[in-house]
Structure 1
Amino acid sequence: MTKLFWNVLKLSPLVVAATFFAANTAFAVEAKEGVTSVAQLSQESNSIGQVTSVSQFSDVQPTDWAFQSLQSLVERYGCVAGYPGGTFRGNRAMTRYEFAAGLNACLDRVNELIATATADLPTKDDLATLQRLQEEFSAELETLRGRVDQIEARTAELEGKQFSTTTKLKGEAIFALSDVFGGENKKVGENTTATFSNRVRLTLESSFTGTDKLQLRLNSGDIASNATSSGTNMTRLGFDTSGTANAISIDKANYSFNLGEKLAVKVDATGAELNDNVTNFNPDFQSSGTGAISRYGRFSPIYRSGSGGAGVTATFNPKGKISLTGAYLSNDNNNPGVNRGVFEGDNAVFGQLAFKPNDKFNVGLTYARTYTDNVGGFDNFASSTGSSKANNPFGTTVAATADNYGIQASFKLSDKATLGGWYGFTKAERVNGTADADISYWAATLGIKDFAREGNTLGLIFGQPPKLTGGSGATVAKDVDTSYHLEALYKMQLNERIQVTPSLLVIFNPEHNNNNDTIYVGTLRTTFSF
């Protein structure tokens, strides 16, 4: 400070209090480089508020050396502000910019008092002191005004260029390097080569009331299904886009809203997926972009019932310890033909009771009743995750129904480790009653967060993919052996927007046949999100 500054401090309590105040002003904090950012100014200006009595500050005592000056400044001029929680923080060091900001606030208030001819006018000594201070800090005051002008200009520019006041744009891009090797007589490795492919999704999320959401998603990709080269759906990746060849489509359109505090509703016009609409008890691995690498490892196949069409899902008491969900999905919703449409075509009726007694344990009982007139089209019974017999036990495309039962659970072993798993059973039956089939599957998952490095996650998944275990009818021939699914992945969070996941998927006894050699799928997935 200059000699003038120390001299004027002795002249008036107004100046002493202004100095005390300036150490806490909104336009204050200079960075180490000497520059205060727009974000800092905006954040600090929102963090303080004017006070009308010095007693409002919990950290200012009558014994403080500047108490009388601060009290005078508050009561006479009303240009003192504090921090949330009723604190003043008067012992902080300050910069010349901070002092200038505090001085500027008091000058504005003095000018206001003069203009309104208020009885509590400043004294001549105060005015003289303020004049000398204004001259001393004229450069800082001018810089401060320039910064404010810049903030206002940038704010106006951002408001003019903002995308939408109601809509957010989210994006995800996956780059995947993958190879399949091993298999029956090692022919898989001989007949396939490594692939590099992609999937891109852009999602528009709009809200009109603050508690609702309209979602529209564009999808494109060229990640082929491994089933073609390996001969089994057990090797499929959880993010493949078979058949799209980078064509762009709207694969999701839905609207969710609340009917009071106890009922949440979601209406899907296309792209309905139960795993998106209800709790699926596999939080570390459910996402196709940042979860498990395999299709089967993401969640129980029961949540794929009826996927792809339209429908409505309603959850009662969604935030409570016990919640109940009901859903109806249709895949023939836009087909006006005979035995088609919303109610007569392929459909799924779904129900789930979820119980979450605390933050550590979560369990669900799930049921789905499905109908399809073309197995392998709308809803194959294993959702393209198990053996070919489990997906189509009747050997032909016939009308059939299925009762699907599932139990899923997740348990937090600690703040960083989560153990999960599921078991499912399906009873399928031809509509004409000539055949039925039993299908079962299970899996266990383990996710360990911050493994080796903060932000990274180690994942292990082991289980038995859907298997045809029994049934009756001339065309039903159960799987005689048992396949096992083993998956290991390590999600490396490079930063907030980029995740790299190396993984290895091992299928023992593919297609539930001990004569088939083990298949390996090595994948390196890089996910960009924005």
Structure 2
Amino acid sequence: MRNWNLLCISLMVLGGSTIAVSPALASELSAETKTFTSSDPLAQSVDLEEPLTDFQTLNADANGMEQVTSVSQLTDVKPTDWAFQALQSLVERYGCIVGYPDRTYRGNRSLTRYEFAAGLNACLDKVQELITAATADLVRKEDLVVVQRLQEEFAVELATLQGRVDTLEVRTATLEKQQFSTTTKLAGNAIFSVADIFGADGGSKNQAVFQARANLNFNTSFNGYDLLFVSLYAGNVPLFPIGGFRLPSTTAGGLPVNSAEGALDVAFGGNTDNRLQMLGTGYVFPISPTAQVFVVGGNTALFALVPTVNPLLDDKGMGTGAISLFGQRNAIYALGAAGAGAGINWQFGKQFIFSGAYIADGFGANNPDAGSGLFNGGYTAFGQITWNPSARFSLAATYTNTYFAPGRFGFNYNGLPLEGTAVANTLAGQTRLAPGPLFNPSPVITNSYGVQASYQFSPAFVVSGWFGATYARLIGDGDGTILNYALTLAFPDLGKRGNLLGFVIGAEPYLTDFDGGNPKSFKTDIPFHLEGFYRYQINDRISLTPGVIVLTAPNQDASNGVDVIANLRMTVMF
């Protein structure tokens, strides 16, 4: 009869224990940790519905209530039965059953025989404990007779419950033996993408491709309110060569620089040739009920830790939102803003959130050489105010100040250029990633301003949008202006719960002008980005998303024609 007191508590038959789960991590890393549901083999292996057919789950608001130990105080247990009276005597003598201080059992009915048997076991355990502790003289002989009679009358129920507890103990022991960690959960996804491009410019240069990316996120909480995360990823996702131009180089014909327009969501993190790499790591913890601090390392992207105000389409890299990177959020979040540093999200008042951060370039923050390190290399200083006047409307104003070491400039999350035209990402051919002797060695500093808004017209229709302006200075040479903007439409649960129809209409980052320096001749046609996709939720873990992207002026030059990217994405969450 060991561990029957535990059974009594876990079933909440005559006691009040409930499990409380902190909401602190609800919005983190989307989160996607594995939990057991009624469809899991573990949950199905132990059927608690029969013969406990009358058992009802207690309200979670009972958690934290003080308990009392007299059966006579349990008003929904009939006091006229002999069994009740016998158990009452045992309880009042040995204090082995508990109830709620409002004198209810919370079952709203008399005890079933199985519930009563579980309560009886609590008293049996207490009596056994006294005997084992050599305090048998504290147990009255007449009580032993009563216990024996109760055991006989409820023998079937006791045996049934014992068998179920034994099964649960075996399953629990298996979980404890096989679990990865008591504090760490694995949350991950795999994204499979088939894509092709058609058009006068990109279609002649490209072939249909099958690409994939996998993310493994190890999420750890030590107290239920903090989060330590380690993110690993691998992928084979080179970009389509679209638009672009050739820069002077020692190679024949010059160095080709391609536009990053239409880059797919699967391309985030760059191409690792299927080698597993660390994307980022960090620790998020509260310093007050309204303030949360984060410390990050590696090449952690800031957008995953602050509000971006594009619900449903911004999937934080999980492969469930817009099929393009541009369609997920304001492009100014891609200017640097990935690396090592610290920040804060602070809610003041009931409607406002201040987000601030300092992020050093992840490719130089760990380097002690001159021109690198935490404070002497590339960095992003970030500030944002988010206003949430209602559950349906959000508005945010964002400012970033970013310093790029030579050869690091671009809308690239401190990696490969992933958004915008080649003209914008090179300041018209004056800088590029991995600088060479024929390229301007000057650093770039930018000041970016953004406005993002979202309004939920109904549970089935959400409109969002943004505008971003970046003022870039090639130090010692000249200044340029880069714009990006978009309107997004989201239709959640269209056709089926979990589905999502989405549209993006906007312009990827493009250079409107550059004063000074030695820019390569460039056009200023607006490079419109038109996107539509439909995510079909096959089940809770798998989704299939076909989509199309239309680029009207690749590399901000309408003479390049129109390029169309067709994409079929499958995302598996685990």
TM-score, normalised via structure 1 length: 0.80
Whether 1:431 and 2:475 are equivalent positions in the alignment is yes
Question: Alpha-carbon deviation of 1:447?
Answer: 1.5
Over the aligned positions, Cα root-mean-square deviation in angstroms equals: 3.9
C-alpha offsets along residues 224-248 of structure 1, whole Å, 9 cap, x if unaligned? 2123699531121122154311011
| Within-5 A mapping of 1:367-406 | 367-375=399-407, 377=409, 384-397=418-431, 398-406=442-450
| Within-5 A mapping of 1:341-420 | 341-375=373-407, 377=409, 384-397=418-431, 398-420=442-464
C-alpha offsets along residues 463-503 of structure 1, whole Å, 9 cap, x if unaligned? 11122222322426553322211111112222222122111
| Within-5 A mapping of 1:495-506 | 495-506=539-550
CA distance in structure 2 between the partners assigned to 1:391 and 1:202 by the alignment: 30
2:6 aligns with none
| CA distance 1:32–1:365, change in 2 (3 Å) | closer
CA distance in structure 2 between the partners assigned to 1:371 and 1:112 by the alignment: 70
CA distance in structure 2 between the partners assigned to 1:480 and 1:110 by the alignment: 87
Contact 1:77–1:109 (8 Å) recurs in 2: no
Whether 1:141 and 2:162 are equivalent positions in the alignment is no
2:344 aligns with 314
1:7 aligns with none
CA distance in structure 2 between the partners assigned to 1:98 and 1:211 by the alignment: 35
2:538 aligns with 494
CA distance in structure 2 between the partners assigned to 1:100 and 1:265 by the alignment: 50
1:195 aligns with 209
Question: Alpha-carbon deviation of 1:67?
Answer: 4.4
Question: Alpha-carbon deviation of 1:80?
Answer: 6.3
CA distance in structure 1 between the partners assigned to 2:349 and 2:571 by the alignment: 30
Contact 2:299–2:340 (8 Å) recurs in 1: yes
Give the count of matched residue pairs. Answer: 490
Q: Give the match's secondary structure for 1:413.
A: strand
2:48 aligns with 36
1:19 aligns with none
| Within-5 A mapping of 1:73-472 | 75-78=88-91, 86-89=104-107, 91=109, 101=118, 104=121, 121=142, 131=149, 134-135=151-152, 138-184=155-201, 188-227=202-241, 231-240=258-267, 241-287=269-315, 288=317, 289-317=319-347, 320-331=350-361, 332-375=364-407, 377=409, 384-397=418-431, 398-432=442-476, 434-472=477-515
Contact 2:412–2:419 (8 Å) recurs in 1: no
Contact 1:437–1:476 (8 Å) recurs in 2: no
CA distance in structure 2 between the partners assigned to 1:393 and 1:71 by the alignment: 85
Question: Alpha-carbon deviation of 1:44?
Answer: 6.2
Contact 1:51–1:74 (8 Å) recurs in 2: no
| CA distance 1:304–1:84, change in 2 (3 Å) | farther
2:551 aligns with 507
| CA distance 1:45–1:159, change in 2 (3 Å) | farther
Q: Give the match's secondary structure for 1:359.
A: coil
C-alpha offsets along residues 58-110 of structure 1, whole Å, 9 cap, x if unaligned? 767xxxxx44338735642337666898345465795x756755665576678
CA distance in structure 2 between the partners assigned to 1:436 and 1:23 by the alignment: 69
Contact 1:306–1:378 (8 Å) recurs in 2: yes
134-143 or 47-56: which moved more?
47-56
The letter of the residue matching 1:486 is L
Question: Alpha-carbon deviation of 1:420?
Answer: 0.9
Question: Alpha-carbon deviation of 1:250?
Answer: 1.1
CA distance in structure 1 between the partners assigned to 2:47 and 2:100 by the alignment: 22
Contact 2:220–2:227 (8 Å) recurs in 1: yes
| CA distance 1:464–1:377, change in 2 (3 Å) | closer
| CA distance 1:391–1:334, change in 2 (3 Å) | same
CA distance in structure 2 between the partners assigned to 1:165 and 1:33 by the alignment: 22
Q: Give the match's secondary structure for 1:401.
A: strand
CA distance in structure 2 between the partners assigned to 1:376 and 1:227 by the alignment: 20
C-alpha offsets along residues 378-426 of structure 1, whole Å, 9 cap, x if unaligned? 6669954222212222422232221111001111212332211100111
CA distance in structure 1 between the partners assigned to 2:142 and 2:523 by the alignment: 95
156-165 or 99-108: which moved more?
99-108
Contact 1:227–1:236 (8 Å) recurs in 2: no
C-alpha offsets along residues 411-458 of structure 1, whole Å, 9 cap, x if unaligned? 1212332211100111112211x3211111110112222111112111
Q: Give the match's secondary structure for 2:80.
A: helix
1:527 aligns with 571
